[in-house]
Each structure stands twice: as structure tokens, then as C-alpha cells.
Structure 1
């Protein structure tokens, strides 16, 4: 079965814009995996909708617009200020209005708009290059061990820490976890931390809110240094929490 992460990263441009994958039988949310079968009617807030409309309502209520989600996913490769400018552009704001909102000069806004336009052109060319490479040299299929793991969608920053092959991931998990799922030690290397934290995140259910006590109880079963692991889970973009730490949840 295709995981939510695989579903998201295997989506084409049109699917990412829509926020879902559609076939003859169903529609599936790329973000959380919520599925609606075609031909069925679904209740929502006292009314009933077909699969297509229900998926649109789901995306709006649970995830906001796809533009908002993608801009805040950390996967677009844009800076924080560029993300804010793109969001403002989507609202139809002028350079002057954007500059006032961000407290920067209009010339700075124009400069970022130019860079973003160039980035768009480069992205189209790079995508074509990668597609051509896959067609001519399917190296990952020839050597499954060299297949790269996709970074989790909520990674706070995607960098060299996330360059991990499936073979490396298997070796790291086998080294640091015992047969009972207990973490023998917290690795010092960043790449290894990413792997073990992603594994630990599987102990939390998407859409469920946890108190700090409940989070600690789950993490303590894995390793005694649960406060440090909890901090790492937040730092690396696996867990999120309210400002008063009264509620925690797995980021999606």
C-alpha cells in the first residue's frame, strides 16, 4: 500500500494543485490520505456531497488552500521572505502593499519577484532533465539499495541530513533499535537522528492531540532521555505543539 509520504512525492503538478489523486474508483488526499469513494454520498455539516465536492471541503477545512500548504511545507526551496511575498502576490497585493506589510523597500519586492520568476523557469528545465534521466537511466530500479528515501513533508529544512538511501535507513534502524523497539542510544550524527526520529514518529497517530504527559509516556518507552527526544521531534518538524505546551500532535 502506498504511504502518505509516497503518495505526496509521487504526485504530478496537476495533482499537487488539486491536493488529491483521483482514479475511476476514488479520490485520495495527498496530504493525509483521506479517501472518498466515487458514487457514494458523504455527510458534512448537515448537508450531503459527492466525492469531488467532499474532497474540496476536506482540503479547505483540514489543510487550507493547497497554495498555503505548499508554501508552508518547507519543500518549495524558497526563503521565508519569498514565501511571504508569494502568499501576498496570491492575494493580489501590489508591490507597494507587499512592501508595507513586510516592512521592506519596494525595490526589494521587485527583486524577489524577478528571482522567483527565474526560479520558475529553472524549475521547469530541471524537471524536464530529471524526467529524461529517469527514462534513459533508471538506476534506482536496477539497484533498489541506492533508492533515496523521501524527506518527511514537514521537515523544517531539507538539506544534506536527508540524503539517505533505503539501505542506509535499514542499517541505521538495525543498529540503534533493539528487537523490542527500544532506542539503545541517541545517535550524534544528524543523518542518523533523522532516521530514528522518523521511526519514533510512527508511534503517534495523525489527527490525534496529546498532552505533554502522554507524549512523555510514549517516548519514555522508547528511551529514558525522553525530554531530549521530544525537543528533537519538534526541532526536526515531526511534532508540533501549542504555545503553552498543553497540546502536541504529529505534523502532517
Structure 2
């Protein structure tokens, strides 16, 4: 799993469910998974349909990341606190499977066991709500206390974005941290990249000072500036973006230092048009859709599935397999034993966008129905069941 963004880790429940966050200060919506942005006031075309910024962001989540539930379930159990079985069951519950169907999918258990798991998950949700309330009350109590005169005098200026809401770094702390990580002086090399957040932010803010305000940098130029101080420029560049000290165009062709007081109309207009052009180009590019198979290179067994966005479908299948909660337990078992290199992801049939389809929201359903029909035909043709494959045989065929 890729590194989790700080925005996602600190997002509230509402934004986590949506998968994106709104920044009213700069009129943008930002994907919590990959950082993709849309901007209010810009219309985004896709397959002949025009979408406003928030609707376009919702479609981005669906097309590129399948769903927020799938993404969150794919996260490490240390982050979610869910066991592999719980993640699998939540996926089945979300699909609306009955208890009997779930028992058939996991090849064992009883309906009472499934009901017990449902009950325990609801209890876990109640506990999580209470714990969240406790923590929020604790933090609100801390914010209500007035800082001493001494600490007020030493407080640093507000950090960018939401960092300022949860972090306060005094001048004394700033000097102490920088002296540790820049042992040869403030203009010398960075000895190591800190793991503790307050130290990390302090170092990033200092490193951002190496860049000129108002100047546009290429990715190569950004790397050169960072590498003069720290060898791992890729990590440093990513964190400068994630923590809001720098920004870039979606294709990474231009980078710049974000202005601390940048609000409302105070934007970099020279970049807006370029951003719009890149986003329009991306959104107007039809997504390949159709049927694919996952083939075991050692025994030839296959798993057939489909999607209206084949790259997204492949990424979704890999995420489930890597996270050990794939719907096919047999495929999951072989994947775990043999590794990813033992499997091939192959396109069986691709559906070209229909220019005759109506240019409205019904178009997506037209494609979805066509893809579902194609998948059914391939299942009938290949019969990827039992010894030949990993798909579950349709219930009617078992009778």
C-alpha cells in the first residue's frame, strides 16, 4: 500500500466517507487518496457530459479508486483495527449478501456466527463514536486554556492549511529541532528525516525556504534544490506537497511555493489555465471498459471480472488481494502462497464508448449494463469454476 496522505489521516468522518475535502479558501476539492484536485467555477467534460467541480471529484473517486469503502478496507489493519475476517465480512455486508450466501463464500461457519459478527461490528462502531467524543472533548478543553504570556511571545506564525489547527511550534522548539537535524548549520545538509510530526513539519518549513516565492520550478529543478541538502529528494518533495508548503500542477510539470496568506482571489492565475487544460484533457479521455481475467501462471486457473474503468478495476483487484480480503477465497489463498508474480492480469474484451449513447447521466448505466452482459457471456464461454477457475458457480448451476 502506498504512503497514506496526512490529509486523509486527519480528515473528519464526513470527508473520509466522501473521499475528498473542500478547501473554501482556494475554492478546490482535493482527493484524500491521491491528491487530485478540481476547482470551483470550472466545468469538467467527460464522455460528452459536463460536470461541475464537486460532481467531477465524486466521479474521480469512483473511476480511479472504485470506492472509499474498498480503499479504507485495503489499509493496513494497524490503521483500521479490523481483522482480515472482519474486512472480508464488511465487504460482503456492503454487497448485500445474505448470511447463507456469505457462508457459501467463506466455505464454512453458520448463520449464527455471521449474525454474531454483525453484532460485534455494531458494538465496535458505538465504542468508536464514544471514544471520538471523548478525544474531541479533551482537545476542546485544552484549546480553551489561555497560553501563558511567555509561550505566546515565542509562538511561531500559523502553519499552512489544517496544520495550524493541530500543531503549535514555538521559536525555541524551532531552533532546537533545526539544530538537531542540521548539525553543520542551517544552510548545511539534513542529517536525517524525522518521523515525529512536529519535528518533520519544522524541517519541511525550513527546507521550503530554499525555494523562491513566486517562481515556477520544474520537477528536475525541485529535485536539484532538495538534493543539495538531502539525498532522498523524492520523499522530501512528496512531503513538501502533502504538508502544504508547496503545490504543483496535476501532471507534475510545474511546482511553486504556496503563499501562507493565499486566500480567495489571491491565487496564481497564470497556473489556473494550465491546470484547467490538463484536467480537461484527462477528463475527456475515455476510460477503457470491459472484461478481464486474473490467470494463475502455474496451474492455469482463472478469475473473470469486469469494470467500466479497466485500470481502476485492475488496481481494485490487486488492492483486495494484497490486503487479503478478496471475494474469492481460493484465489486469495493461491495469491498468498505464490505471490503476485505468479499471476497475469489480461484483458479479454474491451468496450468502445458508444457515440450514439445519450449525453446524460443515463450513459453510465448503458455502459454498465453492456459490460455486465459481456462478463456473463465470458463466464458462460470460459466456465471458470471448480478446477478451471476461481469464480463461484452461479447458484442455479449448483442445483
TM-score range, shorter chain: 0.5 to 0.7
Query: TM-score when scaled to structure 2?
Result: 0.37
Q: 1:76 to 1:143 in 2, by over 3 A?
A: same
2:40 is aligned with 1:42 = no
Counterpart of 1:211 in structure 2 is none
Superposed displacement of residue 80, structure 1: 0.9
Query: TM-score when scaled to structure 1?
Result: 0.57
Secondary structure at the aligned position of 2:125 is classed as: helix
Superposed displacement of residue 96, structure 1: 1.4
Runs of 4+ residues over 3 Å off in structure 1: 138-145, 163-171, 178-183, 197-202
Superposed displacement of residue 143, structure 1: 6.5
Superposed displacement of residue 120, structure 1: 0.4
CA deviation profile, 1:191-217 (whole Å, cap 9, x unmatched): xxxxxx966987xxx999xxxxxxxxx
CA–CA distance in structure 2, aligned partners of residues 43 and 69 of structure 1: 26
CA deviation profile, 1:128-177 (whole Å, cap 9, x unmatched): 011011111259756677xxxxxxxxxxxxxxxxx945338989xxxxxx
Alignment of 1:24-103 (within 5 A): 24=24, 25-74=27-76, 75-103=79-107
2:198 is aligned with 1:166 = yes
Q: 1:54 to 1:199 in 2, by over 3 A?
A: same
Counterpart of 2:124 in structure 1 is 119
Superposed displacement of residue 51, structure 1: 0.9
CA–CA distance in structure 1, aligned partners of residues 41 and 238 of structure 2: 35
| Runs of 5+ unmatched residues, structure 1 | 146-162, 172-177, 184-196, 209-234, 236-241, 246-252
On the 8 A contact 2:8/2:32 being kept in 1, the answer is yes
Superposed displacement of residue 27, structure 1: 1.6
Q: 1:47 to 1:114 in 2, by over 3 A?
A: same
CA–CA distance in structure 2, aligned partners of residues 180 and 141 of structure 1: 25
Q: 1:169 to 1:51 in 2, by over 3 A?
A: closer
| Larger RCO (CA under 8 A, 6+ residues apart) | 2
Q: 1:119 to 1:10 in 2, by over 3 A?
A: same
Q: 1:54 to 1:136 in 2, by over 3 A?
A: same
Pairing partner for 2:230 from 181, 196, 200: 181
Superposed displacement of residue 22, structure 1: 2.0
The count of residues paired between Structure 1 and Structure 2 equals 177
CA–CA distance in structure 2, aligned partners of residues 56 and 13 of structure 1: 16
Counterpart of 1:20 in structure 2 is 20
Secondary structure at the aligned position of 1:48 is classed as: strand
Q: 1:21 to 1:9 in 2, by over 3 A?
A: same
Superposed displacement of residue 60, structure 1: 0.7
Q: 1:201 to 1:20 in 2, by over 3 A?
A: closer
CA–CA distance in structure 1, aligned partners of residues 109 and 341 of structure 2: 35
Counterpart of 1:216 in structure 2 is none
Q: 1:142 to 1:243 in 2, by over 3 A?
A: closer
